[in-house]
Amino acid sequence: MSKQPFRTPQGGLVQRSRTIRFTYDGISYHGHPGDTLASALIANGRHMVARSFKYHRPRGIYAAGSADPAGLVAIGVDAKRFDPNTRAAEQEIYDGLVASSQNCWPSLGTDIGGALDPFWRFMPAGFYYKTFKGPPGTWTALFEPLIRAFAGLGRAPDAGDPDRYETVNRHCDVVVVGAGPAGLMAALAAGRSGARVILVEETHRLGGSILSRDPEKLSLGGVQPAQWVADIQNELAALPEVTILTRTNAFGYYGNNFLGLWEKVSDHLPKEKRLGHLPRQRLWRVRAKEVVLATGALERPLVFHENDRPGIMLASAARTFLHRYGVLAGKRPVIFTNNDTGWVTAFDLAANGAEIAGIIDVRSDLSGEHMAEAARLGIPIHASSTVVGTSGRHRVSQVEVRPLHRDGSVGTSFSHIGCDLLAVAGGYAPNAALFSQSRGKLRYDPELAAFRPGRSWQKERSAGACNGTYALTDVLAEGARAGVEAAAQAGFDSGDVTVPDVDGVELGQGQLKVMPEMPSHLPPHRRRAWIDLQDDVTTKDLRLALQEGYQAVEHAKRYTTTGMGNDQGKIANLNAFAFIANERGEELPAVGTTTFRQPYKPVTFAAIAGQHVGPHFAPRRTTPMHGWHRRRDAVFEPVGDWLRPRAYPREGEDFFQAVQREARAARTDCGVLDASTLGKIDVKGPDAREFLNRVYTNSWSKLAPGRCRYGLMLGEDGMVADDGVTACIADDHFHMTTTTGGAASVLAKLEDYLQTEWPDLKVFLTSVTEQWAVASICGPKSPALIAELLDDFDADPERFKFMDWRDATMGGIPVRVFRISFTGETSYEINIPATYGRWMWRQIIEKGARHGITPYGTEAMHLLRAEKGFVIVGQDTDGTVTPGDLRMDWIVKKSGDFIGRRSLFRSDTARKDRRQLVGILTEDPDLVLEEGAHLIERRNEPEPPVPVLGHVTSSYYSPNIGRSIALALVSGGGGRIGDRIFATRGGEPTVPVRVTEIDFLDLKAKGALPQAVRREGGHG
Amino acid sequence: MFVISCPYCGARDQSEFSYGGEAHIARPEWREDMSDAEWADFVFMRSNPKGVLAERWVHSAGCRRFFNMLRNTATDEILAVYKIGETAPQVQAKLPATPCGEAPIGSGNDAVKVMQPGEAE
Amino acid sequence: MAENAKKPSEGLEPSEGLTPPERRTPLALRQSVEGAPGTLRLAETPFAGKFILRLDPARGGEAFREAAGLDLPAAPLMSVVNGERVVFWLGPDEFLLLVPEAEAAAFAEGVEKGLAGEHHQLVDVSDYYTAIEISGRKAREALMKLTTLDLHPRGFPVGCVAGSNFARAQGWLWLEHGEEETARFRLYVRWSMADYLWCVLADAGREWGVPEQIPAADETFLTESVHSKKA
């Protein structure tokens, strides 16, 4: 015990029977289960834990919970588990906890950055904006690295996060945020009704503010606060529909009563006790019918010269450390207050052995009762006085007090009071952050000199201190009422809920006297009165911002950064608004507030990402043949969520060589492609033909059963949206295919037209994409292979013609075979029910061996179709390309409406100089253009802007043509066949190219390929 | 994220739905003499109000049905859900039309987030 | 691996030279997994006959009942069970029919015949979907990590069917059995997403001891454009 000099002999809710060892900056300390890092450090006499953001001033623990502005430390479990910016006042200690200071060098005590502090006068608001200006490049090259070296908070861990995180969805009738007296009563009332209730508590213990009260001086229903809380907790735990979440922060209140809760599941445990099967943290996504906000009130700091030293803290924090943790924050405290709660703090501290060095109250009209009690305890009283300065390097050691005059000035007489703690009590303000997030409107309460919930927007209600209700009896009643009402709104009856009798001292504020800044003998420009302890924003900065024209609170906030730290100014903001209002000579409601945004406090990205990381990031859609592709060491590419083999490089082969080999084999022997990913839609109904006529640009009236047809689908804007082959199964039944990536959107679009535009059409659509595994077999030897694979099947391309399809069996299994081609080669597509897909593929490979079967990937497929001049929607089109632009006018019927038809006649789509798809052949046959390369008229690029003729959409080296080939969209391209234009190549000189037709196989067959011009010395 | 009541499946999370654009924009019948302007009005022009808008949604993860919905675009308040082919019901948007009572045009960010003296709760 | 791999039910002779047809469901390589006894168990339900039926129930419901021997669900989100035959409501004119595989062909034929005069669509989706059975008293909790559906017994009674997103995949969830201790769901998911969902479900069960199921995600990827370079 001797190792914790500020631990009280008894009292507090920590488990004194057990001692925990932890280290802070390498020094070993003791604490007890139930301690936070802050309470344990203070028990050891340590207040200073951090350096401030801008001036590197020493910072201590200022508040006892998540509102603490500046007590940020780093918690390092190991190299991978390293959490910067952890609030010491929230982190529970455990055996072996390693904490360290941050934002200082070489150490917290002697921080080089602290040398900045004497220059504070030269670092005003907007300092960065005014100072770090220079020619382009100076910011990234010089200023940013410089600033980053000095400013910034903490450092990120060096390695990836090894822990698991989880998101969980929940629906419930009532969410109660905050388990203080109001929240507990609300949860109890709502829980008893049988409603589904979630009670959320930020700390590890239910009870809230009543745990910060002297248990000897307060009883509820005849028992001490902790016992009363335990009784309720037991009752709630026994209710099957009630969930209690401790160590959980309701960080976000979103639309439709959607709340984000952040649960720290194992942050309070030593590494060896963290259970591997539990996530480190959970994010609860809760949809509530009704919400009860019981988030309490936050105490306001007092704003005076040198109010930032370690050892200066909120009076409420001093009481919390005392009653909840059994820690005396100071042995010789001074209390500085503007209301009665400061006095209660003094008496509580005194009762636990502190020698109160003085109570300084800005008010003149003081409570006789309190005066008498103070006199009885021998506490010096400084009525109508203010603190005008403090001293002490790493902890406050003395305060300077001066009398306050009626006119708002201070007297010339002063006294110095030695102390080791300055507890400041500035009055309580409702914590209405979540209410504001829910888009409720705040109301200014002049009596509290603070904002409280006004008009609700969502189905929520505030109860207790967060609603501006401070008297405990009223708080309990309001909480119970809120619980009953919320349950009733959700359809549940709570019956009668009795509110316990409260016996003891009320923690009343009495008459509150709020002053935006304490008067001082110093001129304003010499005062250093902090508004925001984390961001080092003082009244001087706000004054300057207002002078420079940043009058609106939102502007002043951004200019000075007040409230912009990772505490989001929980305790600073109200003082900032009040100060601005006072300076502007206006009332607070007229000045308003900044916007309260989610999250209430920083939430880890890991918790937000939850389990959807790494291999669980997104579905990896695979075909039945995937295992085979993997074993063949295929190189994959993602197509939408699908994994498709891009090529199958053999031993000693690089990707390019593999693609060339595959593409060659498909034309010389036999190639096979896994085409299972293509979208497939079963179209059925008496109006199916009419439907196809309306959704495709061509006519389907005469397509006979057993035949297939290629179709283009447009958007209503006339632009090509998708393409594919559709087969006629029967007069009223078709099998449609779409692109792999377009499958879902095409089905959605077709359903859209059927359901909303043409409900009279009798057509049903059902996706069958994954019902079928598909192998596309092509090449001169494919007919022989097909004949071997299928049972009694005549595969002769003379009789089973291009664009025919047949029912067949393979090993007795019914299959559909389509004579369709995306390569220009003789080609067959076998569709087999997916469970047989793997088997089918193996048969193809085994039987195909003697036909030279070569599996090919998407890259060879792209290359093969380009050789034939077939387009890929999404590669050669980009949403601005019409069928005419593709020079596919043949596929557009002349009569009858279809989706997008009218757009083809718009003045813009009928323009003659639209970019059209053409072939592009480089004069150097070995040179392969970059896809996206710009095409221009002349060899030398003129001064920008360069008139661009178009761009390359597809580009390959073709083994079958024996040279490079490319497709491009070129302005008026159809009329420019044979023209010589130039292609850009990044920074390199342009190269001459020839505009050609797009079917390169045909050009080669006709001997119509332009003369190659080989450059000397090869190519670059 | 808001909750949408699918007219077939009931209340579901917004993530199950896809947006289908403004509702009640009929596709004009094909006519040879249809002007560019008339067609462009159908293809490109939408009302985009700050306030109540009739829009189409589809329950893509569920029953795949399209339906119509009246939504206040300034507040995400859903005022009515009705099936395709039905006429939009007459609705009264909740007052104030926006949480802060900000102007019908422009962003809400400048509006006062606190009640002014004399303002009714 | 052999568990879900089996020969076709009919004794068809394969064409000469082919190995006998062998089927494999998407989760054939996944053994069923279980956490602490009674908490959570995952297993694939392979090989059932599955059909999508599109039909206006007001016009063809009667004919369907006569042909199939079971009613269409009377209300949205409901299922009808008759022995081993089950009908799910998927949409106002869309239903999923489940029948034992051996009966599937005859069943389909019967339905087609019975609905001959009525505008309808009957599509075999036996291989399109597979079903993952999720059972145990933590089944609801595990699923709630993946879906925004309200699976509390008050919101999701026995027999309920709902289409929703499960993690990042669409699926149809059916509560076959509902008592707290024996809750048994079946999740119908597309072939290509089945392994993804299996692994995410197992991950959701980690806290009750379900062993980690790692997706085979070690494929080599090549996403940049390299096809243009001639060696």
Q: Which domain holds residue C60?
A: 48-125
**Cβ-contact A32, A58 below 8 angstroms:** no
CATH number at C201 reads 3.30.1360.120
Structural domains of chain C, count:
2
State the nearest Cα–Cα gap between A550 and chain B, in angstroms. Answer: 14
Longest dimension (CA), chain B: 63
Check CB contact under 8 Å for B63 and C148: no
Residue A687 has pLDDT above 70, yes or no: yes
Residue A120 has pLDDT above 60, yes or no: yes
Taking the mean position of all CA atoms in its chain, how far away is CA A851? 54
Task: Sort out which chain B residues have CB atoms less than 8 A from C91's CB and list them.
Answer: 8, 62-65
pLDDT band at A110 (very low <50, low <70, confident <90, very high): confident
B32-36's contacts with Cβ under 8 Å and 24+ in sequence apart are B34/A902, B36/A905, B36/A906, B36/A907
Residue A696 DSSP symbol: B
pLDDT band at A615 (very low <50, low <70, confident <90, very high): confident
Residue C227 has pLDDT above 70, yes or no: no
Q: Which of A209-218, A517-526, B91-100 has the lowest mean pLDDT?
A: B91-100
The answer for C17, left when phi > 0, alpha when psi is -120 to 50, beta otherwise, is left
State the nearest Cα–Cα gap between A262 and chain C, in angstroms. Answer: 14
Q: Judge whether C111 lies within some domain.
A: yes
State the nearest Cα–Cα gap between A460 and chain C, in angstroms. Answer: 21
Q: Last residue of some domain: A473, A504, A535?
A: A504
Q: Judge whether A129 lies within some domain.
A: yes
Token pair in block for residue A652:
């000693």
Spatial distance between the Cα atoms of A848 and A781, rounded to a whole number of angstroms:
9
pLDDT tens for residues A295-312?
A: 999 999 999 999 999 999
Q: What is the CA radius of gyration of chain A?
A: 38
- Arithmetic mean of pLDDT over chain A: 94
Task: Sort out which chain A residues have CB atoms less than 8 A from C29's CB and list them.
Answer: 627
Q: Judge whether A1014 lies within some domain.
A: no
Spatial distance between the Cα atoms of B31 and A54, rounded to a whole number of angstroms:
70
Q: Judge whether A603 lies within some domain.
A: no
CATH number at C95 reads 3.30.70.1520
pLDDT tens for residues C134-155?
A: 999 999 999 999 999 999 999 9
Spatial distance between the Cα atoms of A416 and C220, rounded to a whole number of angstroms:
74
Q: Last residue of some domain: C110, C125, C140?
A: C125
Q: What is the end-to-end Cα distance of chain C in Å, rounded?
A: 42
A264 and A330 part of one domain: no
Nearest to C170, CA basis, from B63, A702, A85: B63
Tell me the mean pLDDT in the region A456-485.
97
Helices (H), A759-913: 782-789, 837-848, 858-868
Tell me the mean pLDDT in the region A761-770.
98
pTM for the predicted model, two decimal places: 0.94
Spatial distance between the Cα atoms of A600 and A251, rounded to a whole number of angstroms:
4
Q: What is the pLDDT of residue B99?
A: 60
The kind and range of the H/E element at A920 are strand A915-922
A31 and A115 part of one domain: yes
Tell me the mean pLDDT in the region A971-984.
96
Q: What is the CA radius of gyration of chain C?
A: 20
Q: What is the pLDDT of residue A848?
A: 96
Q: What is the pLDDT of residue A509?
A: 93
pLDDT band at A147 (very low <50, low <70, confident <90, very high): confident
Q: Which domain holds residue A717?
A: 679-769
Spatial distance between the Cα atoms of B67 and B83, rounded to a whole number of angstroms:
5
pLDDT tens for residues A561-577?
A: 999 988 999 999 999 99
**A501-536 as b/e, with b when 16 or more CB fall inside 10 Å?**
ebebeebebbebbbbbbbbbbeeeeebbbbbbbbbb
How many CB atoms are located within 10 Å of the residue C45 CB?
16
**Smallest CA–CA distance from C169 into chain B, residue:** B61
C133 and C34 part of one domain: yes
Q: Last residue of some domain: A769, A797, A821?
A: A769
Nearest to C164 among B62, B64, B65 (CB): B62
**Smallest CA–CA distance from B17 into chain A, residue:** A748
Spatial distance between the Cα atoms of C180 and C162, rounded to a whole number of angstroms:
19
**Smallest CA–CA distance from A897 into chain B, residue:** B30
**Cβ-contact A918, A961 below 8 angstroms:** no
Of all residues in chain A, what percent carry a pLDDT higher than 90? Answer: 85
State the nearest Cα–Cα gap between B13 and chain C, in angstroms. Answer: 6
Angle between helices A573-584 and A539-547 (to 10 degrees): 40
Token pair in block for residue C104:
């599937």
CB of B37 less than 8 A from some CB of A: no
Residues 6+ apart with CB under 8 A from A283: A165, A166, A167, A168, A260, A261, A262, A263, A603, A607, A608, A610
| Calculated CA dihedral for residues A505, A508, A510, A512, nearest 10 degrees | 150
C43 and C53 part of one domain: no
CATH number at A347 reads 3.50.50.60
pLDDT tens for residues A162-189?
A: 899 999 999 999 999 999 999 999 999 9
Task: Sort out which chain B residues have CB atoms less than 8 A from C163's CB and list them.
Answer: 9, 16, 59, 61-64
**Cβ-contact C139, C40 below 8 angstroms:** yes
A261 and A314 part of one domain: no
**Smallest CA–CA distance from A628 into chain C, residue:** C219
Q: Judge whether C19 lies within some domain.
A: no
Which residue type occupies B17?
F
Residue B28 has pLDDT above 50, yes or no: yes
pLDDT band at A771 (very low <50, low <70, confident <90, very high): very high
How many CB atoms are located within 10 Å of the residue A867 CB?
27
Q: Last residue of some domain: A162, A193, A216?
A: A162
CB of B5 less than 8 A from some CB of C: no
A119 and A142 part of one domain: yes
pLDDT tens for residues A492-550?
A: 999 889 999 999 878 899 999 999 999 999 999 999 999 999 989 999 999 999 999 99
Q: Judge whether C224 lies within some domain.
A: no
> A376 φ, ψ to 5°?
-60, -40
Which residue type occupies C14?
P
Name the superfamily (CATH) of residues B3-83. Answer: Folate-binding superfamily (3.30.2270.10)
Best A835, A842, A956 residue to mutate vs chain C (most C CBs within 10 Å): A835
- Residue A174 β-bridge partners: A197, A290
A65 and A143 part of one domain: yes
pLDDT tens for residues B65-84?
A: 999 999 988 888 899 999 99
State the nearest Cα–Cα gap between B107 and chain C, in angstroms. Answer: 31
Nearest to A906 among B39, B60, B64 (CB): B39
Q: What is the pLDDT of residue B106?
A: 53
C76 and C116 part of one domain: yes
Q: What is the end-to-end Cα distance of chain B in Å, rounded?
A: 27
Q: What is the CA radius of gyration of chain B?
A: 18
CB of A906 less than 8 A from some CB of B: yes
Nearest to C223, CA basis, from A932, A655, A743: A655
CB of A766 less than 8 A from some CB of B: no
Best C54, C144, C149 residue to mutate vs chain B (most B CBs within 10 Å): C149
Nearest to C228 among A279, A810, A928 (CB): A928
Q: Judge whether A523 lies within some domain.
A: no
Q: What is the pLDDT of residue C2?
A: 39
CATH number at A155 reads 3.10.20.440
pLDDT band at A868 (very low <50, low <70, confident <90, very high): very high
A734 and A795 part of one domain: no
pLDDT tens for residues C102-118?
A: 999 999 999 999 999 99
CB of B121 less than 8 A from some CB of A: yes
Return the SS3 of A983: strand
Q: What is the pLDDT of residue A117?
A: 82
C102 and C141 part of one domain: no
pLDDT tens for residues A31-56?
A: 999 999 999 999 999 999 998 888 88
Task: Sort out which chain A residues have CB atoms less than 8 A from C155's CB and list them.
Answer: 171
Q: Judge whether C36 lies within some domain.
A: yes
A85 and A127 part of one domain: yes
Tell me the mean pLDDT in the region A217-235.
96
Q: What is the end-to-end Cα distance of chain A in Å, rounded?
A: 79
For the four alpha carbons of A440, A444, A445 and A450, in that order, the dihedral sign comes to positive
Distances (CA, A) of C159 to A286, C49, C150: 25, 19, 14
Nearest to A812 among C21, C120, C168 (CB): C21
CB of C224 less than 8 A from some CB of A: no
ipTM: 0.93
Structural domains of chain A, count:
7
Tell me the mean pLDDT in the region A320-337.
98
**Cβ-contact A200, A294 below 8 angstroms:** no
CATH number at A777 reads 3.30.1360.120
Q: Spell out the domain ranges in chain B.
A: 3-83
A305 and A411 part of one domain: yes
CATH number at A683 reads 3.30.70.1400
Residue A841 has pLDDT above 90, yes or no: yes
**Cβ-contact A548, A126 below 8 angstroms:** yes
Interface of A with B in 245-274 (CB under 8 A): 254-256, 258
A823 and A876 part of one domain: no
State the nearest Cα–Cα gap between B42 and chain A, in angstroms. Answer: 9
Residues 6+ apart with CB under 8 A from A251: A260, A261, A262, A598, A599, A600, A601, A603
State the nearest Cα–Cα gap between C139 and chain B, in angstroms. Answer: 20
Q: Which of A136-150, A412-426, C51-65 has the lowest mean pLDDT?
A: A136-150
Q: What is the pLDDT of residue A1018?
A: 41
Tell me the mean pLDDT in the region A889-911.
94
Check CB contact under 8 Å for C164 and B12: yes
Of all residues in chain C, what percent carry a pLDDT higher than 70? Answer: 88
Q: Which of A451-460, A810-819, A909-918, B101-110 has the lowest mean pLDDT?
A: B101-110
Spatial distance between the Cα atoms of C140 and C175, rounded to a whole number of angstroms:
10
Residue C12 has pLDDT above 50, yes or no: no
pLDDT tens for residues A259-294?
A: 999 999 999 999 888 887 899 999 999 999 999 999
**Cβ-contact C110, C162 below 8 angstroms:** no
Best C191, C203, C224, C229 residue to mutate vs chain A (most A CBs within 10 Å): C191
Tell me the mean pLDDT in the region A752-774.
97
